[in-house]
Amino acid sequence: MPDIHVPHLDEEQDEPASAPAAAAAKPRRKWNSVLKIGMEVALITTGVFLGLAGEQWRENAHHRELAHASLLRFRAEFQANRAEVLRVTGQHVTELKDLQAYLNTHSNALTAHLLDPRKPIPTPVPDNVTDSAGVDYAAWDFALATQSLAYIDPELVQAMSSAYRLQDIYQEAHRAIQQTSYSFTDPAFYIRGVTYYFDDAVVYEGLLLKRYEDILARLDREIGDK
């Protein structure tokens, strides 16, 4: 007698029920995959951001160290330059006064000498040694080479640049009178020329000292150790 298959009702009921469950599981798996990818992207983005932030912090720290080192060099250089100007300015003031008095006192005799060079100029001639301050520029040159000026207060940089420019003018005046001293042919002309030099030098030195004082006070505040 052939077997007769009697279907299980449970099987018939389970098969229709499994289809909706599989359909519901599919979107969940898809959502979990999207969420996982999103988390991975977020972690990678955070890592990149933290890496860039760390690099930026290290770069800023390097810039601060570079600027601080330059500020220390500037302060030492301006202190040395101020000391050099102070070394000679008193002497130049005295020489200027003495030469002006000499020219005023001996105006007629000097004019007579210019008309007839055989007539000697009055003696003694006041001291006229043109000892100029030996100012330096090394800190400025170093800051330009390392580009550290970009990380220093712009107003301070402008003030320092102005002081260095005035140093150039001051030294150029000294070079000019040195050239004259090597080639002058008449002492009366040289005495007048060196008197004009001291007149300019005293003005330049006074301006330099004022600028040095202002810059050194700013540097002390920037460096913050006084």
pLDDT digits (tens, 9 = 90+) for 166-189: 999 999 999 999 999 888 889 999
Percentage with pLDDT > 70 across the chain: 78
Cα separation, 178 vs 131, in Å, equals: 10
More confident: 40 or 4? 40
Would 55 be classed as within a structural domain? no
Would 145 be classed as within a structural domain? yes
Percentage with pLDDT > 90 across the chain: 68
Would 54 be classed as within a structural domain? no
Give 203-224 pLDDT, tens digit per residue: 999 999 999 999 999 999 999 8
Long-range residue pairs from 172-176, CB within 8 A, at least 24 positions apart, any chain: 173/197, 173/200, 173/201, 173/204, 174/130, 174/132, 174/201
Would 94 be classed as within a structural domain? yes
Would 46 be classed as within a structural domain? no
pLDDT value of position 223:
94
What end-to-end distance do the CA atoms of the chain give, in Å? 115
Structural domain boundaries enclosing 106: 71-223
Would 176 be classed as within a structural domain? yes
List CB contacts of 72: < 8 A, sequence separation 6 or more.
Answer: 223
50 pLDDT more than 70: no
Would 170 be classed as within a structural domain? yes
CB atoms within 10 A of CB 172: 9
Burial class (CB in 10 A: 0-12, 13-18, 19+), 157: middle
Widest distance between CA atoms in the chain: 165
Would 34 be classed as within a structural domain? no
Tally of domains within the chain: 1
Nearest CA among 53, 44, 42, 74 for reference residue 151: 74
Residue with tokens 């001051």: 170
CB atoms within 10 A of CB 202: 18
Residue 128 pLDDT grade (very low, low, confident, very high; cuts 50, 70, 90)? very high
